[in-house]
Amino acid sequence: MLNAFNLQKTFNPGTINEKVALAGATLNLEEGEFCTVIGGNGAGKSTFLNAVAGVWPVDGGSITIDGIDVTGLPEHKRAKYLGRVFQDPMTGTAANMQIDENMALAARRGKSRGLGWGVTRSERARYHEMLKELDLGLEDRLTAKVGLLS
């Protein structure tokens, strides 16, 4: 569950480039809900996502995920509570690593790590099933490097 309440963000405050990007943005999503945020160029869509992900601190408002207040958490600590896919598939992925390795990295986000196989057999089987659902043929390219996909 996500509760983003009354988010405020002004870029370059007090300068000639001051830009109020978020002025009271609020969004409540229950578990399993899906939503599309629409708006023209510069409306603040990416700024809103960046605020939730914690790219920089917001000027006001609060963000809770599953009842945990993450408003003051830096991005790397918030990563434990959320996942994010970027507009550019080369952002947020490791280009020199395989599809299954990238998925394994994502699956381990926020968890303690030790030395062991990067991707286990059962994980690979699970990723195969998950990707099959998308019907993009990626399930048969699990060992292809992400940077060489297109």
Q: Which residues bind ligand ATP (CB under 6 A)?
A: 11-12, 19, 21, 39, 41-47
For the bound state, the minimum distance from the C-beta of residue 56 to ligand ATP, rounded and expressed in Å, comes to 8
Q: By beta-carbon distance, which residue lies closest to Mg ion?
A: 46
Least separation in angstroms between residue 51's CB and Mg ion is: 13
- Give the Cα separation of 9 and 55 in Å (integer): 12
Please choose, from the candidates 36, 59, 49, 113, the residue with its C-alpha nearest in 3D space to the C-alpha of residue 82.
49
- Token pair listed for 89: 């598939």
Q: Rounded distance, CA 99 to CA 138, Å?
A: 8
Q: Which does 21 bind (CB under 5 to 8 A by kind): Mg ion, ligand ATP, none?
A: ligand ATP
Q: Please tell me whether residue 10 binds Mg ion under the rule CB under 5 A.
A: no
Site string for Mg ion, 18-47 (x = CB under 5 A): ---------------------------xx-
Phi-psi region of 147 (alpha: psi -120 to 50; beta: other; left: phi over 0): alpha
Residues making contact with Mg ion (CB under 5 A): 45-46
